């Protein structure tokens, strides 16, 4: 961990990486292998540990733990405590699940997303309309967008310096630091509509060090809070029938003397699912209603009424159709817009801050070259949505 700490202090690695390594070490490595002497850490034994973590926790944790152990044993080899690194001969961890196809917001879905936000007072108050636009305009990650200050923006040329990110670090709170890769340090040309949007947001007297998208006190926003606001936007409070169904299910749960935590444990559902159902935020399928009726031991007469209400409340909404949207989908949307416009993979990678496509590309094409054509294509793709908001009557104070 000392090597990792040094890399963080040199701003080569992210503090989040260090926190992840500490967590995985304490949670998954030390309980399984912490008491072994170095000479007992043979390749077969370490392999069993990695496989066990994959089976019991997941492939992502297993890959992280493998990296931690590889680095630790490499250090032991360098200092002469071991002759060979036992992780070196362990096979790569193949992902057993089929990779989902990349999905981005198509034009009609972009229209639906912004209309959904406009109709949601909470989304307007959380400044999600302009923020979603900025994410698509730049292709930046959520923490990178939140780190952009007015000093980073040239309000005349529309160029924005994308070299920082906001992260929450345990024991330190929110910190603003440089992105960890050289490819991530880039200057982007904004589409014309995005520059218009930001100039409309500018207020004389604003500190140049203030963020473009501040919190209620004018400081930097927490990426976790913004992610939660986006989740709430795609799972808004449902129709009157959906809310009534949720209230009815809450009554049955309480009559069964179950807490929400006990209910999800009994059903084997994700921990927030019952809460989302009871607040009318998700569509309840007939199969889900039957499972809830069984878990709550609802009598036959009441069960029939419950299933009838479930059918009436089951009509799909725009929010249901957009339930797959996350902040990262905006980044993929930017890439898709540019790909459809004929931009090369290298140009798209430069826009997104990806490090490389191939060794030849990395060695012979400049990483920080501006890509003004990208701004034009993004301007064409999002201009109509931007104009709708400029013509709309003023909403809640953003």
Instruction: Write out pLDDT tens, residues 164-179.
Output: 999 888 778 898 988 8
β-bridge mates for residue 177, sequence order:
165
Structure tokens at 391: 């013509």
Same domain, 335 and 295: no
Strand partners, 211: 149
Q: Are residues 348 and 306 in the same domain?
A: no
Write out the residue range of the structural domain in which residue 359 sits. 107-232+324-391
Least Cα distance to 236 among 53, 151, 94, 113 occurs for: 113
Dist CA 301 CA 306 (whole Å): 9
Q: Strands, DSSP E only, in 112-209?
A: 159-162, 164-169, 173-178, 186-189
Model pLDDT for residues 301-313, shown as the tens digit of each residue: 899 999 999 998 8
Instruction: Give yes or no for a contact between 258 and 297, defined as CB atoms under 8 angstroms apart.
Output: no
Question: Does residue 366 sit in the same domain as residue 283?
Answer: no
Please, what is the angle between helix 223-234 and helix 128-138, to 10°? 110
Closest CA to 282 of 249, 330, 327: 249
Mean pLDDT of the chain: 85
339-369 tens-digit pLDDT: 888 888 888 888 887 766 642 233 332 334 4
* Residue 396 in domain: no
Query: 159 and 228 in one domain?
Result: yes
**CATH assignment at residue 162:** 1.10.443
pLDDT 10s per residue in the chain (398 long)? 556 555 555 555 667 788 889 889 999 999 998 888 888 889 999 999 999 998 888 888 999 999 999 999 999 999 999 889 999 888 877 655 555 677 889 999 999 999 999 988 999 999 999 999 999 999 999 999 999 999 999 999 999 999 999 988 877 889 898 887 776 788 999 999 999 999 999 999 999 999 999 999 999 999 999 999 999 888 777 778 888 999 999 999 999 999 999 999 999 998 889 999 999 888 899 999 999 999 999 998 899 999 999 998 888 888 888 888 989 899 889 888 988 888 888 888 888 877 666 422 333 323 344 677 888 888 888 989 988 887 654 444 44
Q: Domain ends where: 270, 290, 316?
A: 316
User: Which of 230, 211, 198, 220 has the alpha carbon at shortest distance from 123?
Assistant: 230
Q: How many separate domains does the chain show?
A: 3
Predicted local distance difference test score (pLDDT) of residue 281: 86
Give this prediction's pTM: 0.72
Shared domain for 338 and 219, answered yes or no, is yes
In the numeric block, which tokens belong to residue 293? 């009726």
């Amino acid at each position: 961990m000392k090597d990792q700490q040094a890399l963080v202090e040199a701003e080569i690695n992210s503090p989040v990486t260090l926190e992840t390594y500490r967590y995985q070490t304490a949670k998954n490595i030390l309980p399984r292998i912490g008491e072994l002497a170095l000479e007992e850490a043979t390749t077969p034994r370490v392999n069993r540990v990695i496989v066990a973590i994959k089976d019991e926790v997941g492939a992502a944790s297993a890959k992280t733990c493998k990296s931690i152990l590889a680095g630790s044993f490499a250090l032991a080899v360098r200092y002469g405590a071991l002759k060979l690194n036992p992780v070196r001969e362990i096979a790569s961890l193949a992902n057993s699940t089929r990779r989902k196809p990349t999905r981005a917001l198509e034009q009609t879905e972009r229209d639906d997303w912004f209309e959904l936000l406009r109709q949601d007072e909470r989304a307007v108050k959380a400044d999600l309309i302009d923020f979603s636009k900025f994410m698509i305009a730049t292709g930046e990650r959520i923490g990178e967008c939140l780190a952009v200050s007015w000093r980073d923006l040239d309000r005349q040329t529309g160029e924005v310096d994308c070299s920082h990110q906001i992260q929450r670090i345990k024991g330190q709170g929110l910190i603003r630091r440089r992105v960890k890769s050289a490819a991530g340090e880039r200057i982007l040309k904004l589409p014309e509509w995005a520059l218009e949007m930001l100039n409309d947001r500018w207020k004389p007297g604003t500190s140049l060090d203030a963020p473009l998208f501040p919190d209620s006190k004018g400081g930097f926003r927490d990426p976790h809070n913004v992610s939660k606001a986006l989740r709430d936007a795609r799972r808004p409070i449902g129709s009157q029938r959906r809310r009534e169904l949720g209230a009815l299910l809450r009554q049955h749960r309480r009559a069964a003397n179950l807490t929400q935590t006990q209910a999800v444990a009994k059903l084997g559902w994700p921990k927030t699912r019952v809460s989302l159902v009871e607040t009318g935020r998700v569509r309840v399928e007939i199969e889900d209603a039957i499972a809830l009726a069984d878990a709550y031991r609802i009598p036959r007469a009441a069960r029939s009424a419950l299933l009838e209400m479930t059918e009436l409340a089951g009509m799909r909404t725009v929010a249901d159709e957009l339930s797959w949207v996350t902040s990262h989908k905006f980044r993929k949307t930017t890439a898709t817009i540019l790909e459809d416009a004929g931009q090369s993979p290298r140009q798209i990678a430069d826009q997104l801050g990806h490090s490389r496509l191939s060794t030849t590309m990395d060695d012979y094409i400049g990483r920080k070259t501006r890509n003004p054509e990208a701004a034009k294509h993004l301007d064409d793709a999002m201009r109509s949505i931007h104009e709708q908001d400029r013509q709309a009557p003023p909403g809640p104070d953003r």
